[in-house]
Amino acid sequence: MNEDVILNVHQLQQYFPVRNEWGLRTGSLKALDGVSLQLVSGEVLGVVGESGCGKSTLGKTIVGIHRPTGGSIEFDGRPILALDRKQEKALRTRLQYCYQDPGASLDPRWTIGRSLEEPLIIHTNLSKAERLERVHDVLDAVGLPKAHLDLYPHEISGGQQRRIGIARVLMLRPNVIILDEPTSGLDVSVQATVLNLLADLRKAYDLAYLMISHDLAVVRKVSDRIAVMYLGRIVETGKTDDVFSHPAHPYTQSLLASAPRIGKERVTDHFWLEGEPPKPTDIPVACRFAPRCPKAQDICRKQDPVLRPIFDHQEAACHFPA
């Protein structure tokens, strides 16, 4: 393993029970089905895919919001799931999750100042003066005035709420932040401001980001590497420029073809992906993309492809990669 790898996820599984009207378990919804990835210190790894592919579940399982069904998670060389609750709590302060809707994650009855101070009260032994000093420092780092500390979440804009959400996860000085759709629902100008802020904070605090997003333009702009998810698995991974310039997996090709280009021919004119993904409760036994793939052959319906090297620093789970 690369010595600089700070987060190592191996064969992660997250199965949610499916129950009938009497509460009896009738099956499992396989939100994550053998996901493996590595995050290097200081890098940005973008995770993309259709809605329902498991992107957000992956982030929430890594930080412990969901307890995984199987697999392993190592943070800074230590297996998180093997630690006792006290050790795990201490380690997870260095691994933070920024919610897609920061306004909903803030208590509407608390001022911004109280929400920012809360993690320090729970996880540190800092004095009141030391806590306020750190709150002021972090608020300044995200470009907001101290006057905002006395405001409530509903009194600030969506872009400012996004900054407060980022500030809150910075309070414990983490090494890794999982960003769930950090620019969704924002105006284009505000998106640019948030992305520039994330870039500045990455340098200032030596952060690594796992960025979950459906916005391919954002992922291409800020990510060093990219992982493409489909129906609970990673089907392609590699350096961002390589994946965007020559995608190897048919699903990646269709995903990139769906994005319009301003001032150029709309590539959506050649978009061939049709239909919906199979239900996570009824996943095909072989290649899970085969029912929608125009390149599918008999082997695709009989043998499950594994993620394997296709080009330098690029892998794809496909029997017939480009």
Say if strands 95-98 and 233-239 run parallel, antiparallel, or are unpaired: unpaired
How far from 260 is each of 61, 212, 270, 294, CA to CA, in Å? 32, 20, 11, 22
CATH number at residue 12: 3.40.50.300
Residue 263 confidence (pLDDT): 57
Q: Is residue 166 part of a domain?
A: no
Query: How confident is residue 88, by pLDDT bands cut at 50, 70 and 90?
Result: confident
Task: List, edge to edge, every strand of the sheet that includes 25-40.
Answer: 25-40, 5-19, 70-75, 78-79
Residue 300 confidence (pLDDT): 94
User: Per-residue pLDDT for 260 more than 80?
Assistant: no
CA distance 39 to 194: 22
CA distance 204 to 295: 46
- Could you write out the three-class secondary structure of 153-219? HHHCCHHHHHHHHHHHHHCCCCCEEEEECCCCCCCHHHHHHHHHHHHHHHHHHCCEEEEECCCHHHH
Q: Is residue 134 part of a domain?
A: no
Q: Residue 235 belongs to what domain range?
A: 5-94+174-316
Q: What average pLDDT does this structure show over 36-41?
A: 96
Q: Is residue 195 part of a domain?
A: yes
Q: Is residue 129 part of a domain?
A: no
DSSP tag of 309: E
Average pLDDT of the chain is 90
User: What residue has token string 């099956």?
Assistant: 27
How far from 119 is each of 124, 129, 147, 149, 245, CA to CA, in Å? 8, 15, 20, 15, 42
Could you tell me the end-to-end alpha-carbon distance of the chain, in angstroms, rounded to an integer?
A: 28
Q: What average pLDDT does this structure show over 44-57?
A: 93
Higher pLDDT: 90 or 197? It is 197
Residue 2 confidence (pLDDT): 62
Phi, psi torsion values for 257, nearest 5 degrees: -70, -20
Beta partners for 315?
A: 237, 309
Higher pLDDT: 271 or 289? It is 289
Query: How confident is residue 143, by pLDDT bands cut at 50, 70 and 90?
Result: very high
Q: Is residue 15 part of a domain?
A: yes
Residue 268 confidence (pLDDT): 43
Residue 15 confidence (pLDDT): 95
User: Per-residue pLDDT for 131 more than 90?
Assistant: yes
Tell me which of 28-42, 160-174, 182-196 is least confident. 182-196
User: Per-residue pLDDT for 266 more than 50?
Assistant: no
Q: What average pLDDT does this structure show over 46-73?
A: 93
Residue 158 confidence (pLDDT): 85
Tell me which of 5-19, 94-108, 115-129, 291-305 is least confident. 94-108
How far from 78 is each of 7, 83, 102, 137, CA to CA, in Å? 9, 8, 29, 30
| pLDDT > 90 in the chain, percent | 66
Domain count, the chain: 1
Q: How many CB atoms lie within 10 A of CB 207?
A: 21
| pLDDT > 70 in the chain, percent | 95
DSSP tag of 118: H
Q: What average pLDDT does this structure show over 102-110?
A: 85
Residue 49 confidence (pLDDT): 92
Q: Is residue 23 part of a domain?
A: yes
Q: Is residue 160 part of a domain?
A: no
CA distance 42 to 206: 6
| Kind and range of the H or E run holding 33 | strand 25-40
Q: Is residue 215 part of a domain?
A: yes
Q: What average pLDDT does this structure show over 218-245?
A: 95
